[in-house]
A and B are shown apart, each in its own frame.
Chain A
Amino acid sequence: MSLLMCDQLTMAFGGLQVLRGLSFAVEPGQIVALIGPNGAGKTTALNLISGLGRPTSGAIRLEGRSIAGLAPAAISQLGVARNFQSLRLFLNMSVLENMTAVGYRRARTNTLQAVLWTPAFRRDAALWRARAEELLGLFGSRLGPHRYDQPAYSLSYANRRRLEIARALMTRPKLLLLDEPAAGMNPHETDELAALIAALPRRFGLAILLIEHDMGLVERVADQVIVLDHGAAIAVGSFAEVTADHQVIAAYLGQSARAAPDEPPEEEAP
């Protein structure tokens, strides 16, 4: 059974058809990249999967269970985590608190135990902190201990993206949705991130659905690439396969590119 199964997903905002019958699947442990020109419906698809909208029609199944239209918090509890393209950190909280705030209701102890400061609560809190430190440690010293107590708003743009990924991992997801994780990073930082993303599925036993415009990153990490245009998948396959596809080249470069199918793939990124 696929981990995530989207079947004939459509989404319309009034008369605007953003998704028209999008179908794809993500297998456990896989990294799937969703690419396509701006306005193709990539982020909308991610929003529907994470519960920030209800699809007009179609089904979304997580391990066979329908999750279309469930509340974001419920979907998160089922094991889907995400970051946000437009960065949604808890800005006025410290780096460490951004991580541990996820612990309410996931921790094994309740507020009464916290108020009474019971040994069980202290053990639990230490566990959560250790987990937060472990995940922040994924980024080496970039989110090292010297930053734990800094407010999130003081972080650089790239560090905010890193913190969002770490925060999403705090929820122990089975499926991690990454919306342009490398946006605003320089080539060196993007390389670093690619190595990290490629290592995540094995290390944490999760699958990743990735939206990214950096084709170098997609080529490095994606097991499967889905190309979206006008709300429908126009090509599915490995990176090499889809970049050779005439339809894909046409979608990225316009109709006239059909005449020149030998266009090198490096120039396809917008």
Chain B
Amino acid sequence: MNTPTIGHEEWAVELEARRDWRRDRWGWLQHQARQAPSAALVGLPLALALALALLFGNDYILRVAGTACIYGVLAMGLTLVVGQAGLLDLGYVAYFGVGAYAYALLASPQLGLHTPIWLALPAAIGAAMAAGLLLGVPGLRLNDDYLGIVTLGFGQVIVLLALKLDRLALPWAGATLDLTGGPNGILGIDPPRLLGWAPATQGHWLLVLAATLLAVLALASRVVDAPLGQAWRALREDPLAAAAMGLPVTRLRLLAVSSGAAIAGLAGALFAGWQGAIFPVNLDLSLLLTLYAAILIGGLGSLPGALVGAALLAALPEILRDPALGRALVYGGGALALILWRRWPGAALLAAGGCGIAIAASLATQADVTLAGNLALVALPIVLAALPLVRRPWQRLGLQAFTLVLATFAWETRLAAEPGLARPLLLGVALIAMLIVRPHGLFGRQRVTVV
């Protein structure tokens, strides 16, 4: 009864795909990424990086790589909950904390317990899952922003508990119990000992963390492809339609939250064992923001994206710590961004760059440029905000050049000298630029929403 017909929309989709490919380099990379299996895509560079770190790395580099692994495990769990199941979970770090503290209590002098790893690790994961369910059940009827608010509060409650449970009153004993060590945390946590072997050096630890990362990646990518993953995405897209098609919405939501919590709990336990100590500061809001930045940069819902985002966010602050490396990154990255963006003529780039370096160099020889640098820092956002308002080509070009000069000057005089200020600022700028240029992240897919 049907004859082959080609609808107009098919043509449109193909056009969109072709444009995506041509428009930017990431489009090409993404096209390649779609063809390759995600495990191979991430596994290969990951293995290479690990081999390099293990062969040539000193303890510092190994520690950064280890942090990247912990971030990676956490980001994968978070992207399952937020990206796949569509639940805005802002209390995610709490599960990390519960896992870490549970492991610390079971394997440290704090309570005098030294539980073997095959018992302590599942217990820590179980505790994190229980915390997830505890929050998941009352949060079942909440969606989107409301769920976000409740989970954010929950996360802070866990931090408060970690801070305050150093004087837990035991009325029957007439004494207080120091459970969490308060702000001083729990120290002397046992490393995981399995079959008589425990990681002793940073190299050993990196192997343990990387093995965990790969295991979680394998598991998570199988789950994403399984009917469960499809059901999660259906839930994210339209909970009502999912329910009408017979999908158990409540169960799926709880499964998503507790799976994420289990992964976070595992990361927490390993982190505690690795550091040998756990403090309330480790459950800081900044960790939550880092993880969200990682999954947004990588592309919401994408496991390779979560790993790449986590690696970037673990490595970038360390690179920016070194002024020389930071300078190379800023100028190199800035030039690359302007070339890729193509909207600002190359002439402006050259002129501004030249001017900026000349001015900065001449000023840097003088006594005190702090005040001028501060003024430039204040002026920069104003100029940036004014940029889209200017329409005439020559005025536009002039203002663009002036912006670049100002940015260079501010960087050279103030920020390069204060990495503590420059690091978060640059990360913030990079994140904003990323979300403007590529809102669906490096490995994400463009999504549509119908309101």
User: Interface on A for B, CB 8 Å cutoff?
Assistant: 50-52, 71-73, 76-77, 81-82, 84, 88-93, 97-98, 100-107, 111, 114-115, 117, 139-142, 144, 146-147, 150-151, 153-156, 159, 167-168, 170-171, 192, 195-196
- 30 of the cross-chain contacts (CB-CB < 8 Å) are A50-B244, A72-B240, A72-B243, A72-B244, A73-B243, A73-B244, A73-B246, A73-B249, A76-B245, A81-B244, A88-B240, A90-B242, A100-B230, A101-B230, A101-B234, A104-B252, A105-B246, A111-B223, A114-B222, A114-B227, A114-B228, A142-B2, A142-B7, A150-B10, A154-B12, A156-B7, A159-B9, A168-B245, A171-B246, A195-B1
B contact residues around A144 at 8 Å (CB): 4
Check B227–A71 contact: CB distance below 8 A. no
Question: Given known contacts A76-B245, A97-B230, is B219 in contact with A115 (CB within 8 Å)?
Answer: yes
Which of B307-315, B389-397, B443-451 is near enough to bind chain A? B443-451
- B237 located at the interface, meaning its Cβ lies under 8 Å from any Cβ of chain A in the complex: yes
Inter-chain contacts of B237 with A (CB < 8 A)? 89-93
- Within the complex, which residue of A71, A93, A102, A140 is in contact with B245, where a contact is CB–CB below 8 Å? A102
- The yes or no answer to B343 lying at the interface (CB within 8 A) is no
Given the complex, which residues of B lie within 8 Å of A195, measured CB to CB? 1
Please report the C-alpha to C-alpha distance between residue A100 and residue B1 in the assembled complex, in whole angstroms.
25
Taking A90-B234, A104-B231 as given, write out 20 further A-B residue pairs in contact, using a Cβ cutoff of 8 Å, ordered by the A residue number.
A52-B244, A88-B244, A89-B237, A89-B238, A89-B241, A91-B448, A91-B450, A98-B234, A101-B245, A103-B227, A104-B228, A104-B230, A105-B247, A115-B219, A141-B3, A150-B10, A151-B445, A154-B9, A171-B245, A195-B1
Select which of B233, B247, B248, B448 is within 8 A of A102 by beta carbon.
B247
Residues of A within 8 A of B227 (CB): 100-101, 103-104, 107, 111, 114
**B247 cross-chain contacts in A, Cβ below 8 A:** 73, 101-102, 104-105
Asked if B226 and A115 make an inter-chain contact with CB atoms under 8 angstroms apart, the answer reads: yes
Q: How far is A82 from B7 in the complex, measured between Cα atoms in Å?
A: 26
Query: A140 with B2: in contact, given A76-B245, A88-B241, A90-B237 (CB under 8 Å)?
Result: yes
Contact (Cβ within 8 A) B5 A105: no
- Contact partner of A82 (CB less than 8 A), chosen from B228, B242, B244, is B244
Instruction: Tell me if B385 counts as interface (CB < 8 A to partner A).
Output: no
B245-A81 in contact (CB<8A): yes
Give chain B nearest CB distance to A166 CB in angstroms.
Answer: 12
Instruction: Report chain B residues within 8 Å CB of A170.
Output: 245
With a cutoff of 8 Å between Cβ atoms, the chain B residues found around residue A154 in the complex are 9-10, 12-13
Report the minimal beta-carbon distance from B39 to chain A, rounded to whole angstroms: 13
A140-B3 Cα distance, complex, nearest whole Å: 8
B342 beta carbon closer than 8 Å to chain A = no
Q: Measured between C-beta atoms, what is the minimum distance from B172 to chain A in Å?
A: 44
